[in-house]
Amino acid sequence: MSSLWWSLRLRREASSVPLARKLLLESMESARVDPEIAYELSLALSEACANAVEHGETDDPGAYRVSAYLDGDRCRIEVADSGPGFVRGARGCSRAEPSRAQVAWDAEHGRGLFLIESLADHVRFRNRPGSGGAVVSFDKVLRPGGGTLLPAS
């Protein structure tokens, strides 16, 4: 599989989330990634984008950045915003949300970071140095055991 890379600067509006998700799904389809894995990554991306929209800088409607890299058998996604960043606590990073261990399975808020961690192989939550803001990056192997890319037709 060849490499594919894209980066978007999106407005901090709820309507931007489906746009990022659609572009990722279309990229995955063109790269012949298994639809189930593509769906999992698009769901994780939606959660990361929703967090950027909700927790970004409140005084400025501003923007956030989404980047995706498909290279060989791996996809890496990064979502960066200009908000206050993550709060470091005893359980790692959060956005002033309850710890992921304390979030009820049927809660309407506070499950996004947990969901991203559940859907991706490796996740990193960090603050942007200097300018402020949060960065969520995650990656997933696209063909564990060699079988998640669709055969050429």
Instruction: Please report where in the chains the tokens 């960090």 appear, as a residue.
Output: 126
Residue 20, CA distances (Å) to 40, 67, 85, 134, 138 in order: 14, 9, 21, 18, 15
Residue 112, CA distances (Å) to 2, 32, 59, 103, 136 in order: 31, 27, 23, 10, 11
Q: What is the pLDDT of residues 76-98, one digit of tens each?
A: 999 998 876 776 653 444 444 44
Structure tokens at 101: 């261990």
Residue 76 has a pLDDT of 96
Dist. CA 96–CA 85, nearest whole Å: 10
Q: What is the pLDDT of residues 105-132, one digit of tens each?
A: 454 555 788 889 999 999 998 887 776 7
Q: Which of 5, 14, 35 is nearest to 150 (CA)?
A: 35
- The dihedrals phi and psi of 4, each to the nearest 5 degrees, come to -145, 135
Dist. CA 118–CA 9, nearest whole Å: 26
Q: What is the pTM of this model?
A: 0.77
Structure tokens at 67: 């980047």
